[in-house]
Structure 1
Amino acid sequence: MNTNGRTTSPGRRTLLRGAALGAAAPMLASTAAADTGSAARRTRDAGTVTYRWLGTSGWRIDIQRAKRDEARRQPGTATVLVDPYVTRFDTGLFGGSFDPATRLRTDKPLVRRHAGTPEVICVTHTHWDHLNDVPFLAKATGARVIGTETTYHVLRSFGVDAAQLVVVKGGEVLDFDGYVVEVAGSRHSRNAAYSYFAPGTLNAPPATAPRTVADLPEGDTLAFKVTPDGAPSALFMGASDFDERSFRGLAPDIAMLAVASAATTHRYVPRLLDALERPGVIVPVHWDDFERPLAEPPRKVGTDLDDFVTQVRDLSPASRLVVPDYETRYGADVRSRR
């Protein structure tokens, strides 16, 4: 239970179902996926929460509250975003000619179409493929943004009101109307040279708002666990490394796990699955070419996704594995333990 006595999870036996918005839901069930035929199990109502993958590690979560709030544009519905990078411009990263001086830009109508009107935006770290569209969304919608001190200072430089910004470090459990957001300390991915692009943190707003992708440092990395009332909990990672001690005890029902592009982190998948107690549903993220528009099908980058899928199937055969697609709304079904 959370600190206010709510039940944070109705059970670990969870199915993620896809309701297509324009494409079939690509599901890869493990060989021991949850049995749906037993009448002896109690089935809770589906439809209290839906998930939409925005590519990279981005997600839109729409939560139907138990009580309707007629003052809202969408009565009773809360939208939570994680790393909503929708504009997806070309930096040359996947063509072998990466240009760190690529200018930041936001396709405002496209972002609003995919992101809706968020109540809360969770930012795992401050690199452009996670933060780029957040300044516009925060100012356009008044959404509360949860992130690191670096995220705070960057958004202040873009003119986002300080009253909208929540600085966290990991360990916080934040209670909202109809859902709880738990913050976990995490780590950024490592490349084959044991390094990564644009490390560093900010302890004051930059003199001018960032203009290029190189102007956005990582600023430490977080993970977020979102638990809607009466629905499964879901963990969202933004990079393919983690703080093993911070992750232990999270035990999410659904886990959106970043796929590693290098083998520099020791036993990444086995340690991650062990720390999270082998979630009922595992969804790989951050494996797609995030410089292609969301209107096109996701393009797999390299063979890292295949290796991840193989390891998950071998190490956690009882988990349901869902490889997500763009333009698909996923709903969660929950079945209690035997």
Structure 2
Amino acid sequence: MKTPFSRPDLSPYPREKPSDGSLRVTFLGVSTLLFDDGETAIMTDGFFSRPGKLKALTSKIGPNRAVVTRSLERAGVSELAAVIAVHSHYDHAMDTPLVASLTGAQVIGSTSTANIALGQGLPADRIQTPAHGEPLKFGRFTVTLLPSEHSPKPVAPGVISEPLTPPARLGAYEMGECYTVHIGYDDRGIVVNGSAGWVPGALDGYEAEVVYLGIGGMGKQSDEFRSTLWREIVATVGARKVVPIHWDDFFRPLDRPLVPLPYFADDLTKSMDFLLSQEADVELPVAWQITSPFGR
């Protein structure tokens, strides 16, 4: 029986199958994605600590070094070229500097993300705050940050104006700028839209075969909202494959099976029903599973 505290059943929905092409992608919860071609690896967000609800809401939080280290080891990550934060809320950017420190990566993001990194002692020369549309090259990857919006009514919508030293209250991890990330790989394209939001026209002129689409909060929005999100993000780039991300309950540890948020917080059923009604292949990702975004 559906109640505000029950959770949607994942069993009816198609899941990504494991595969191992020349470019491999691993979903690691929320909007954390590992892209690896065997020569260069990059990651979005890098959020692994996932403090429990009580701790996150009532006390100060910061990166859990043991959990982050263990998660990177499980994912087979020893070196990254870049960690790209889609915005600066704690469930995206809190662990980003530690991931960079452990892997030698550059941190890519907003000035708010830069202040999280500086507050954790990452040197300034390991932090980049590119302009919208500025391409950054990492091996065969070209990363471009484009303006985006959070899903409606975000918590802590401000900016972080000075270095933030953890532990800190959840609300101190203010959102800063939001990005849609376009990842070019040779002559092919991928989009990571970490939140269910958009800036009209931001993706005009860009192409992508695959969209990793943040759907957190989308189930609580109107049909018009969902249709506009699809049009601005998926249809604009011509994607034929959509992988929903940011649907899991990020208060639960990543070493447990991922589950959706309860219905009172979001409605994954409504979101998935909408996505599956569109003209694209829609598959939920499986945590820790290696997939190939373009096929073999």
Deviation readout 1:295-321 (Å, 9 max, x if unpaired): 2221012362222222122232xx111
Question: How far has the Cα of 1:105 moved from its partner?
Answer: 3.2
Pick from 226, 229, 237: which aligns with 1:269? 226
Pick from 99, 102, 105: which aligns with 1:143? 105
1:91 and 1:102 in contact (8 A); partners too: no
- 2:199 equivalent to 1:199: no
Between the aligned partners of 2:258 and 2:286, the Cα distance in structure 1 is 7
How has the CA–CA distance of structure 1 residues 326 and 334 changed in structure 2, closer, same or farther, with 3 Å as cutoff?
Answer: closer
Question: How far has the Cα of 1:91 moved from its partner?
Answer: 2.5
How do 1:86-125 and structure 2 match up within 5 A? 86-92=48-54, 99-106=57-64, 107-113=67-73, 114=75, 115-125=77-87
Pick from 161, 168, 180: which aligns with 2:123? 161
Between the aligned partners of 2:227 and 2:268, the Cα distance in structure 1 is 15
1:82 and 1:123 in contact (8 A); partners too: yes
Pick from 172, 188, 194: which aligns with 2:134? 172
Structure 2 unaligned runs (5+)? 1-12
Between the aligned partners of 2:78 and 2:253, the Cα distance in structure 1 is 18
Structure-2 residue corresponding to 1:15? none
Pick from 287, 292, 296: which aligns with 1:326? 287
Identity %: 21
Between the aligned partners of 1:315 and 1:112, the Cα distance in structure 2 is 35
How do 1:26-41 and structure 2 match up within 5 A? 27=14
How has the CA–CA distance of structure 1 residues 126 and 209 changed in structure 2, closer, same or farther, with 3 Å as cutoff?
Answer: same
Letter matched to residue 27 of structure 1: P
How has the CA–CA distance of structure 1 residues 281 and 116 changed in structure 2, closer, same or farther, with 3 Å as cutoff?
Answer: farther
How has the CA–CA distance of structure 1 residues 314 and 266 changed in structure 2, closer, same or farther, with 3 Å as cutoff?
Answer: closer
The number of residue pairs the alignment matches comes to 270
Letter matched to residue 35 of structure 2: I
- 2:249 equivalent to 1:304: no
Indicate the structure with greater strand content: 1
Letter matched to residue 240 of structure 2: G
Structure-1 residue corresponding to 2:249? 289
* Backbone CA RMSD of aligned residues: 2.4
Pick from 43, 48, 51: which aligns with 2:22? 48
Question: How far has the Cα of 1:329 moved from its partner?
Answer: 0.5
Question: How far has the Cα of 1:198 moved from its partner?
Answer: 1.2
Structure-2 residue corresponding to 1:252? 208
Question: How far has the Cα of 1:47 moved from its partner?
Answer: 1.8
1:52 and 1:330 in contact (8 A); partners too: yes
Structure-2 residue corresponding to 1:62? 36
How has the CA–CA distance of structure 1 residues 124 and 90 changed in structure 2, closer, same or farther, with 3 Å as cutoff?
Answer: same
Question: How far has the Cα of 1:170 moved from its partner?
Answer: 2.2
Between the aligned partners of 2:36 and 2:106, the Cα distance in structure 1 is 15
2:115 and 2:162 in contact (8 A); partners too: yes
Letter matched to residue 158 of structure 2: G
- 2:218 equivalent to 1:218: no
Structure-1 residue corresponding to 2:8? none
2:94 and 2:116 in contact (8 A); partners too: no
Question: How far has the Cα of 1:334 moved from its partner?
Answer: 5.2
Letter matched to residue 309 of structure 1: M
Question: How far has the Cα of 1:266 moved from its partner?
Answer: 7.2
Letter matched to residue 238 of structure 1: G
1:63 and 1:228 in contact (8 A); partners too: no
Matched position secondary structure for 2:145: strand
Matched position secondary structure for 2:201: helix
Matched position secondary structure for 2:226: helix
2:115 and 2:161 in contact (8 A); partners too: yes
Question: How far has the Cα of 1:157 moved from its partner?
Answer: 1.6
Structure-2 residue corresponding to 1:238? 194
2:29 and 2:287 in contact (8 A); partners too: yes
Question: How far has the Cα of 1:126 moved from its partner?
Answer: 0.9
How do 1:9-24 and structure 2 match up within 5 A? none
Matched position secondary structure for 1:196: coil
Deviation readout 1:158-188 (Å, 9 max, x if unpaired): 1111111110342222223211112110111
Structure-1 residue corresponding to 2:6? none
1:255 and 1:282 in contact (8 A); partners too: yes
Deviation readout 1:66-103 (Å, 9 max, x if unpaired): xxxxxxxxxxx11100011112110239xxxx615342
Higher relative contact order (CA 8 A, sep 6+): 1
TM (norm. structure 2) is: 0.82
